[in-house]
Amino acid sequence: MPVALLVLAFLAGAAVSLGTSYVLVTRLERIGGRLGMSEALLGMVAALAADAPEITAAVTALATHQQKVGAGVIIGSNVFNLAALLGLGAVVAGSIALHRRVVVLGGVVGIWIAVACLVTVLGWLAPAAGLIAVLAVLLPYLFVLAAGHARLQRMAVTRRWEAWLADAVAEEEQELEEVIHPRHGRGRDVAIAAAALVVVVAASVTMERAASLLGTRFAVPEIVTGGVVLAAVTSLPNAVAAVYLAAKGRGAAMLSTTLNSNALNVTAGLLIPVTITGLGPPSPHSELIAVWYLVMTVASLGFAYRDSGVRRATGALIIGAYLVFLGSLLATAHSAFPDPRLTVIPLVVVAVGAGVGLARRPRRNGRQEGASR
């Protein structure tokens, strides 16, 4: 196929997939509102719909035995989400205030899933075992979100945990309420959502196949095609939305959105398909991305908890960490055995820098005090 036609197919597939995913998100939100879903669960549904392009692209790559592309799309997208949604959002907004209970509730799940992703990619856990480990935490989390604040207060749980979970979910719903305002869905919304899903899947498959063929034509390593190009392109709508909301002073939902998106990416886009197709032998580059995903997740959550939010300086640090990750990956992508000086040392420098930053005790402002209840 001519290069010009492949480029056109990639651009058209990306535009249609990403544009239609917005329609899918809005219609599913309306359907969820009609079904009486809590704001927190609606946020998870919206994240799943927004993740449709990268999940479809990853599944397509894995189904055609392009494990590096498939794993790269998902894990690379998660690293990009941290930089674009949290990092860039905080830089644009100046500061994003968060509730500490929301950071802990979502953070425990987020870190657990990042660890499960890493040990699966390393080959220490079989894909099926990794999937079970993720579902063991994700399903109770979804149950808590679905229950909502009022129902949690009526559940027969020890009073201390009952109160804490109820407050955490209430605070998460309060943050998500800024960005989720669904109208009650109608019958046509179901039909539109179904049609949009078909279009997103078809366009994402076209985009992935065109990107892979272009990568092969120009000798671009699979890990770059998946972990950089497709990961960034499929996540662009979330990044644009995050910057827009942050500029309007409505960035509080970005933490939950990022963590939910990353959790669903790993579960639906990586662990479920590789349980069926297999992940293949461990890849140094996939392992590198998975380690960065875990380190950046832990660091971002550490700063968010300490500061009861994400400051502009923290956002700049997250973006800087992503750029270092990008440089490390690109510098070693053509090597079957990457030089540790180009992989381990940059990672250690970023991890130590984040640790030093966390050890400092910054001054607190009034907005953050109010958010740390």
Beta strand 309-311 with 95-97: parallel, antiparallel or unpaired? antiparallel
Would residue 303 count as lying in a domain? yes
pLDDT tens readout for residues 327-351: 999 999 999 889 999 999 999 999 9
Residue corresponding to tokens 């750029």 = 323
pLDDT of 20: 87
CA distance 269 to 263: 10
pLDDT of 352: 95
Helix (H, G, I), strand (E, B) or coil at 95: strand
pLDDT of 367: 43
pLDDT of 70: 92
310, β-bridge pairs: 96
CATH for 84: 1.20.1420.30
Would residue 108 count as lying in a domain? yes
> For 116-120, 134-138, 183-187, 298-302, which range has the lowest pLDDT when averaged over its residues?
183-187
Res. 373: pLDDT tops 50 = no
Reported as type and span, the H/E element at residue 309 is strand 309-311
State what percent of residues in the chain have pLDDT above 70.
Answer: 85
How many domains is the chain built from? 1
Would residue 250 count as lying in a domain? yes
Would residue 81 count as lying in a domain? yes
Would residue 151 count as lying in a domain? yes
Confidence band for 185, pLDDT divided at 50, 70 and 90: low
Res. 226: pLDDT tops 90 = yes
Residue corresponding to tokens 């597939």 = 13
Domain span at residue 312 reads 71-180+220-371
Would residue 36 count as lying in a domain? no
H helix and E strand count, the chain: 17, 2
pLDDT of 38: 65
Confidence band for 116, pLDDT divided at 50, 70 and 90: very high
Would residue 10 count as lying in a domain? no
Would residue 318 count as lying in a domain? yes
